[in-house]
Structure 1
C-alpha cells in the first residue's frame, strides 16, 4: 500500500467515524419534532412559497343573521312593515327564537298593535318564565291594553327577578302614576334613581311630584 492510499484510508475512516457519531448522538433534526415556529402566528409558506400560504375563509352570514340585520335596518328607517316581514320570515325558520320574539314585540309596540305585542311577550315567557325583561315588557303592553291587574303582576315579578335593575322600578312607577297612585309612584321613582342616578327622567318626576306636594 502506497503512502497516498494509506492517507485516503485514514481520511475515509475519519469521515465515517464523524457520520456515525452524529447519527447515533440524537442531535440531528427529527421530522415533525424539532421544527418550531419563531413566533406564535408564523405562517407556513410566505413570500418564498406563496402556494403554501393559507388564507382565512370569508364566512357568509346565515339566513337568520341576514333577517335580523334587515329588521334592524328597517327599524332604523322606521319602516316597521318591512321589519315585521323580516321577523315573520325569521319565525318560520325558528319559531322559538327569543331574539326574534323580543324584536317582534317591540315593533308591534311601535305600530300600536298591542294585542300582537302581548302575544310575542307571552311566547317569550312560555320559553323562560324567569325572563325579567319579558315580564316588564308584557306589563307595559297590558297597561296599554287596560289590564292593570295583569300589568301590576308582571311589573312586580320583573322587580322580584332583578330588584337591582333601575328601569323595572321606573316603568312600574310610570304605570302607578298613570293610575293616579302618586305616592306609590314616587316611591318607585325614588328607588329607580337611587339605583341609577343617570335616570334623568326619574329625577325630573321626583322633583315635579315633591314640588306639587309641597
Structure 2
C-alpha cells in the first residue's frame, strides 16, 4: 500500500466516523416533526418564502352580529318585514339585548304595529329606566295609541334626562302641536332651535306658529 492510498484510507475512515456519530446522536432533523412557533407571531419562511408564513385567522362575526347586519341592510331597503324576522331570531338568542329591542321598536313603528313597539320600549325601560331614547320612543308610540297622558309623561322624562338634546324638545313639541296646544308647542320648537339651529323643521314651525299669534 502506497503512502497516498494510506492517506485516502485515513480520510475515508474519518468521514464515516463523523457520519455515523451524527446519525446516532439524535441531532439530525426528524421527518414528521412539526415546526413549533415560540411566540404568537413566530413565522416560517420570511423574506425569501413569504408564502410560508403564518397568518392571523380572520375573526368571524357572531350570529348576533350577523342578524343585526341583516336588519340594517333590510331597513336600508325599507324591507321592514325581513328586518323583523332577523330581529325575532336575535331575540331568541338574547331577549334582553338592548340594541335588538331598540331596533325592533323602530321597525314595528314603521309597520304600524304600535302595541309591539310599545312592548319593546317598555322592556328597554325595565332594563334601564334612565334610557332617554327609550322614553321618547315610548312617548311617540303612546301618542300614536292615543295615550296622551302617558306620552306627555315620557316626553318630559326624556327631556329631564337630557335637557340639552334638541330632538327631545322637538318631539314633544310635535305631540303638543297634534293636541292643539300650539303655544306650548311653539315654546318647544323654539327651545329645540336654540339648542340646534340646523333643525330647519323647528324653524319652519316657529315661523308658522309665530304668524298665527300675530
| Number of corresponding residues | 173
How far off its partner does 1:47 sit? Answer: 1.2
CA distance in 1, matches of 2:165, 2:50: 55
Instruction: Please list every run of 5 or more consecutive structure 1 residues that lacks an aligned counterpart in the other structure.
Output: 1-41
CA distance in 2: counterparts of 1:50 and 1:175, whole angstroms = 65
> 1:166, CA displacement in angstroms?
0.2
Is 1:55 aligned to 2:43, yes or no?
no
Taking the TM superposition and a 5 Å limit, the aligned residue runs for 1:161-180 are: 161-180=161-180
Deviation at 1:98, TM superposition (A): 0.3
**Structure-2-length-normalised TM-score:** 0.77
Counterpart of 1:77 in structure 2 is 77
The separation in 1 between residues aligned to 2:201 and 2:164, in whole angstroms, is 18
| DSSP-derived class of the 1:164 partner | coil
Equivalent residues in 2 for 1:26-175 (5 A)? 46-48=46-48, 50=50, 53-175=53-175
1:179 CA drift (Å): 0.5
For residue 24 of structure 2, what is the aligned residue in structure 1?
none
TM-score (norm 1): 0.77
Shift of 1:55: 1.5
**1:209 equivalenced with 2:209 (yes/no):** yes
In the other structure, the counterpart of 1:183 is: 183
Can you list the C-alpha shifts for 1:5-43, whole angstroms capped at 9, x where unaligned? xxxxxxxxxxxxxxxxxxxxxxxxxxxxxxxxxxxxx98
**CA RMSD in angstroms, aligned pairs only:** 1.5
3-state SS, counterpart of residue 170 of structure 2: helix
Deviations 1:70-107 (A, max 9, x none): 11111111111111111000000011000000000000
Distance 1:196 1:43 in 2: 54
For the residues of structure 2 that align with 1:60 and 1:97, how far apart are their CA atoms? Answer: 20
